[in-house]
Chain A
Amino acid sequence: MSLSFRNPFGIRFKLVFLSSFLLVIPWLGYQYILEMEQVLRRGQEQTVLGTAQALATALNERPELFNEGSYTPARRSEDLYVYPIFSALSLDDDSLVDWGEYQQYEVMFGEKDQTRTELNPSRYYGADETLSFRNMVGEHNGSLYAYFKVIDDEIVYRSRDALSVHRSDFLEITMLSKEGNAINRYVVAPHEPEYLYPFQVQDGYSNPIHEDRISGQWYESNEGYEIELQIPMDMLGDRLGFAIFDVDDAQKRYVETVVSTYRVADAERLGSLRLPTPEIDRIVAGMGHNNSRIQVVDRSGRVLLSVGDIQSATGVLLTADPDEVPSNKYWLYVQNKILNPLYYQFLTKPSNDFIDDLYSDVSREGAHINSALEGEAATQFRTLADSETRLLEAAHPILANGDIMGAVVVDQNMNGLRTFRNQAMETLFNTMLGVMLIVTLGLFFSASRISSRIRGLRNQAEDIIDDTGRVRNTIVATRSSDEIGDLSRSFSNIVERLTQYTNYLENMSSRLSHELRTPVTVVRSSLENLGLTASNHESAVYIERAEEGIKRLNLILTNMSEATRLEQMLQTSEKEKIDLVRVLPGCVEGYKLAYPESKFEIDISEQPIYINGVPEYIAQLLDKLIANAVEFSYPEQPVTIFCRSLRDHAIIKVSNAGPYLPEKMKDRLFESMISVRPQVKQDQPHLGMGLHIARLITEFHGGKIGAENRQDREGVVITVVVPLFYR
């Protein structure tokens, strides 16, 4: 016996499975967009490098812009170097923290910078060697900022009632006036750590007048005190100097030590202010509208100038076209609530809220800058550690007289490109989803249609032949012109011919019996005539034998047409309400007479069992079953007739003890011309019509008939199930 494996996947499943290969298309689209992104990135790289190059070209051959060495922190000079500061500074925060990295450029003033002034006419070397300060000057937003970290062992504040401003620790600011013809001096001498209240003083610190344009704070530190101040740039002339006056004895209040940023406080010898060149500013400002962060660094990597911030430096203009914004709020909802969360499972959406921790307004370093400072323009990509953001950085050298003066660094973040890519992806995925949805649904429906048509055809095909193998229905040929229609038509054709053939076969026995009847009659009437005339005793014997044979032939013919005749009669018979319990015992009495050698056992319900039927046919049915049972019964074994109602059916069982039925024959037993009798038993003609007639009658009553081998002993039980009378 071969194992049959039934493929559980129908056409629908297969088609849907095949259609899943469509998923390759969005993948290809995805790859294409990634490729496109690469190209765009290269484009952006070139653009950025181009920007850097353009700027560098503008700055080329202007060595004065870089003024080699002027910014070296170690250099000691009377000049004050004003660093560009790119963040706002707070003057009232009690600390210098906000100066941040700029503090690295502070300059130390100490013992060597002690100066003799009119307040300490004799220089006392070592009077207070500890006095020193560190100073840093920066420029931000039109103001000069400076701080002083003063180391002083004894802080002496101005007494509350003192009118003079020079008899305590104080800071003196000396500057050339804007016009450049006078020297203005300002003194900051607080009563205690407080906000600055500076005075402008004349010679000899006389006539102090409050100057409110200078602001700042004085506060104490561990080693001394710190001063932070702000001076508007428009107050300043070209030269500027600071001096710290130290008083250590609170009683005497003599100025003991002065440390200053200058040697002599006159218009010629005061240190000059070195401001960032506004020319670079202008050149860079001209380039500043291109969505980049641009910095100019000198040879040591210090930032000379910075324009733009990296967060908005996307490089790509991304203002969405207002016409393209979908106005349908449902679609917007779907897009925002369903699709986008899905897409951004695997797409990264970088935020513009990132921090470039390697960035500094003060000094920059990196491979690209190193490369640029060696004369080679370079770009690099950098991924920020805390976010998905990638930065594109380009550096281009600035040349002057064949020397590398510095480099232009142009930075852009890649978020713009990424956003642009994401938008492309969204559009692609939306389109793909739509297309795939339509294609998949279409495929599913067409597959469903096809499979339902095939199933319909299969059901029709299964309905053609009933359980008993008879052709009952036919296939209705469809008119559709496709292959299934063809199949249906050829099926219909086959069934039609099969029906004709089956009809021919089914009617053959009755037609045969009809056709045979005439020659049989010829033979019989001739024999009878012969019998009437024959005088010879010997020939009379043969005539008798011949007549015997003819009689048997006649019986066969009658039996052959019995089924056909019965079917014709069944068509015209009318059913009535009958009680099986009354019909069956009468029949059994008859069988006791008809088969005196057999024993019959009755097991019939005492309650009436009403069915809708024709009593004669029921009797005929029982005749056939009993005849069959008696024939196959072992001698001395009873034939049992059982009848009960079970739920809404009446059950009649006729069982006999006898040889088992062959398994294969159980179902075919009730077909026409089927007999399981052994050949030796054929002393009477049998055509296998008996049980066929039994089935016809059972089906006429709307019931079912079946044969089973008995479980309790060797034998066969035939069961007839007929629905009860119901009205």
Chain B
Amino acid sequence: MAAGEQVRTRGGAGGAPALAIFQASLRALLTGRRWIVVAVLDAIFVLLAVLLATQTDAASHQLHLVELFHRLGLPALLPFVALLFSTEALGAEVEDRTLIYLTLRPLSSVSIVVAKFAAAFVITLAATWLPLLISFVLLGLNDTPAGQLPALLLAGAIGSAGYCAVFLLLGLLLRRALLIGAIYILTWEGAIAALSTSAAHLSVRFYTFGVYAGILRRDEFLNGEPYPAPAGAFIFLLLVVLGALWWTARRLRRTELK
């Protein structure tokens, strides 16, 4: 075959390079020690759900489920699981200098970033939905009207997407993305945004809670906790995801591999 003849062939059985990157990233993220931390976070969440289910009155289970999600799921489970997987999704290739095997292929940086985001998001979703589902089974089955499950799953999904997009960018920008991300979660979202409503407007957690509360529609469980309008919160998180992915793709395109 003459040089260049084959490379002009497009599509075919081997097409969908973004799918290939997604699959390879998924396989890479399924291994490694970060799973130990994720398993510990999941176990703590489930253990607390078990304790609440066995040690408290059934009539208060709905309230406890809301509290569990609000006090542990939102501030710890979602962001830390997303942080562990998303910073690794691109950051590992930056760190070990294998990024070249993606960027020097005939692919747009957008398709690389979207594939990486999808892999991190799917794994984060699996690792967060599982404990949320278990906690619902333990505490929320007597839910009337049945708003808990869709609220947990949808808020879990959109929150995970927001965190994954932001931390994917962080993994490309910073060498110590895991540490910086953890500091962001603990200090900005955990402390500053918790004390100041205006600061909360710049946190993924605030809008995720808005989506959750908006679907749940049970203000009696929320102790007057402020939350944004659900539709606005959803749109804001969507914009965060799109903005972070656009920035990551732009940065990837302009990154010099020294």
Whether A and B are associated in the same complex: the answer reads: no
B interface vs A, CB < 8 Å?
A: none
A interface vs B, CB < 8 Å?
A: none
